[in-house]
Chains A and B, each alone.
Chain A
Amino acid sequence: MRHLTVKRVRIDDTFAEAFTMRATGVIITADSAHWARQAAVTMTGFATSVIGCGCEAGIDHELTPRETPDGRPGVRVLLFAVSTSELQKQLQTRVGQCVLTSPGSACYAGLDGDERLKLGNALRYFGDGWQVSKRFAGKHYWRVPVMDGEFVCEATTGLSKNGVGGGNLIIMGQTVLGTLAAAQAAVKAIGAVPGVIVPFPGGIARSGSKVGSKYKTLRASTNDTFCPILRGAVSSALDADVGSVLEIVIDGLTPEAVAAAMRAGIAAVLKLGPTRGALRISAGNYGGKLGPHHFHLKDLLS
C-alpha cells in the first residue's frame, strides 16, 4: 500500500470507513467521582461491539460538580446502536441494572434533541407505585424510592440519528509492548476529545475482525490480513518488521468528533515515535461502498 512517512512512522494512504448509527447519552452522578465512574463502568461493560453486545458504549468524559445537574461528580456515557429500538432496549436495561443499582446514583439526559428515548419513563415502575414525578425548569424527573434514599432519573434523554460508528485506527509496531504503548497513548489523547467513545477494553481491540467467516454461523471472524503470525500463510497486509497490531475503534456523535479523535490519536502515536511505539498506522474500510463516512488518514495529519 502507498504510504507517507511522518516522523519515521508510516501512514497508509487509506481511510477509515464509518457508518451512521443511533446514538444517545446519559449523565450519571453519585456522591463521589469513584461511584459515578463505577456506575458508568458497570453500565458500559460488555458493550464493545454491536456485533455481539447490542450496542457500543463508553465513557465520554468525567464531569465536575459544577457541570452536573445536581452538583455532584458525574460521568457522561454515550451509547450507539444500529436501530432506535435496540438502543432503547439497551439503554433501559443497562441503566436499570447498572445505574439504578449503584449506591447514591442519579441519571440525567446526556444528549439534547427533539427525538427522545425513555429513561426514567421506562424505569419508574420499579417504584411500585411510590415513584414521584417532578417537573421543573423544563425538565421531567422521576424519583424512585430505593434502599439508600431515592433514585432520581430524568424522564427521557435525547436520541441522535446522526451518530457515527466505526471510526478506527490500526496501529502496527515491532513488539507487543511498543504497539500497546502507542495504542495507549492514542487512547489517552482521544479521551480529551468530547463526543466520542472508544468502546473496547481500555479503548483498544486486539482482535480486529473482518466481515464473515468460513463458518456460516459467524458474522465476523479474525482479520487474518493483519495477523502477524499468519504472514506468509494469507495475503497479509503486514510488512516484515511488524510483529503486533492493535486497533482503536471510535464512535462519535458527529463525523467531526470522530475525525478530531482520529487526528488526536494519530498525533499521539507520531509523538511517541517508532522506537518506543508504532512503526505504521493504517485504517480499516470495506472499499468505501458501505459506509457514508470516509476518514482519510492523510487528511488527519496536523
Chain B
Amino acid sequence: MRPLVLSLRHRPDQRLDLSPLLPHLLARRTVAEIEQTAVNTTRHRLSVGDVFRVRAGDAQQIRIEGSCDRLDLVGHGMRGGEIIVDGDVGIKTGRLMSGGRLVIYGNAGPWAASGMTAGYLEITGTAGDRLGGPLPGEVAGMRGGVVVVRGPVGDRAGDRMRRGSIIVEGSAGSHAGSRMLAGTLIVQRTGGPMPGYLMRRGTIVLGGAGALISPTFVDCGTHDLIAMRLLARFVQVYSKRAASVIGGPLRRLAGDMAVLGKGEIFCPPE
C-alpha cells in the first residue's frame, strides 16, 4: 500500500498546527476532505490544500516531504501508524504520542516527545530544549515510549521524565534529566552542566566524561551491573553507538540528594 504523501509547496507565512494530520484522524478520509483540514495558527485561515500537495494513499503511513521548522505539533497525539517527515519540524513534535512510529529526517524544535506515553520517535538531526519535558504547569514530562535523537539535544532533556527511554547519540545541553521522576536518559557523548539537577529517581547515562555534576550527587564507586547489560541490549536495537557506552564498568553517582536522592548518573570511570 502506498503512503499518503503531503509535499510542502513553499515555506508557510505562519507556523502551522499539524496535529490534525494523524493516521487515526485521516483514516477513510478522501483527498478533498484532507485538503480542507485547517492547519493555521493565526487568524489567517490555511488549509492543508493551501500548503501541501496531497497524494492519495494509506493514511496509516503518512509521509511529509519538504518539511521546514514552521511545521509544529507533527504527530501530536499520535496513537498508531507511521509518520515519516523529510526535513525539519517545529515545536512539540510527537507531543502526547501514545503509539505508532514517528521519524523526523531533520531537526526538531523544543518540547519534542513532551508528555509522550508510548510509541517510537526518532529524530535524525538535533532536538531543541526540553526534549520529552512537560509544558509549564504539567506535573510530568515523558511517561513512556522510546525517543532516539541521532544528534545533540538542547537544555533540560528529559525534564520531569516519569517513564520511558531517551537515547541521544550526540551531546546534551545543560540540566539533562532535571527533575526526573523515573525513566532512562542515555547520552552517548557528554552532558552540559548539572545533569540530573533535582532528579528524584531515574537513570542517566553519560557516555562522555567531564560534565559538571552537582555536589549534591554522591559517588557510589565503579560497578559492572547486570542491569546495565540489560539496558545495553535494549539500547542496541536502537543505537549501537549509544549501547557501546553502557557495556562495561561505569561510575555510579547517586542523587540528587537535595531532593529524594534515589536517582543515579552513570558516567565513565575516572
A positions within 8 Å CB-CB of B: 29, 69-72, 106, 130, 132-137, 141, 143, 149-150, 152
Contacts and interface: CB of A to CB of B under 8 A. Distances in A.
A109 to B, nearest CB: 13
Nearest to B146: A136
Contacts of A150: 223, 225-227
A74 to B, nearest CB: 12
A134 B184 CA distance: 8
B163 A135 contact: yes
B175 interface: no
Given A141-B230, A143-B227, A136 B262 contact: no
Interface string B237-261: 1000000000000000000000000
Contacts of A136: 165, 184, 230-231, 234
B230 A70 contact: yes
Contacts of A141: 227, 230
Contacts of A71: 229, 233
Interface centre among B165, B184, B230, B264 (most CB of A within 10 A): B230
Nearest to A143: B227
B227 A152 contact: yes
B98 interface: no
Nearest to B231: A136
A70 B226 contact: yes
11 contacts: A29-B226, A71-B229, A133-B182, A136-B231, A137-B233, A141-B227, A143-B227, A150-B226, A152-B225, A152-B226, A152-B230
Given A132-B201, A134-B184, A149 B226 contact: yes
Q: Is the interface of A mostly helix, strand, loop or mixed?
A: strand
A262 to B, nearest CB: 38
Nearest to B264: A132
A163 B151 CA distance: 50
Contact of B226 (A106, A132, A133, A137): A106
B201 A69 contact: no
A143 B184 CA distance: 14
A89 B240 CA distance: 41
Contacts of A134: 184, 203, 227, 230-231
Interface of B: 163, 165, 182, 184, 201, 203, 223-227, 229-231, 233-234, 237, 262, 264
Nearest to A108: B230
A149 B222 CA distance: 11
What are the 5 A-B residue pairs with the smallest beta carbon separation, nearest first? A137-B234, A136-B234, A152-B226, A143-B227, A70-B229
B202 to A, nearest CB: 9
Contacts of A133: 182
Nearest to A137: B234
Given A130-B262, A149-B226, A150-B226, 14 more contacts: A29-B226, A69-B233, A70-B226, A106-B226, A132-B203, A134-B203, A134-B231, A136-B234, A137-B233, A141-B230, A143-B227, A152-B225, A152-B227, A152-B230
A130 B261 CA distance: 10
B229 to A, nearest CB: 5
Interface centre among A71, A134, A149 (most CB of B within 10 A): A134
A69 B226 CA distance: 10
A143 B263 CA distance: 13
Contacts of B201: 132
A12 B133 CA distance: 71
B127 to A, nearest CB: 20
Contacts of B264: 132
A132 B183 CA distance: 10
Contacts of B223: 149-150
Contacts of A143: 225, 227
Nearest to B237: A137
Nearest to A69: B230
A135 B262 CA distance: 16
Contacts of B203: 132, 134
A132 B201 CA distance: 8
Nearest to A142: B227
A141 B182 CA distance: 13
Contacts of A70: 226, 229-230, 233
Contacts of A69: 230, 233
Nearest to B229: A70
Interface centre among A29, A72, A137 (most CB of B within 10 A): A137
Contacts of A72: 226
Interface centre among B226, B231, B264 (most CB of A within 10 A): B226
Interface centre among A69, A130, A132, A136 (most CB of B within 10 A): A136
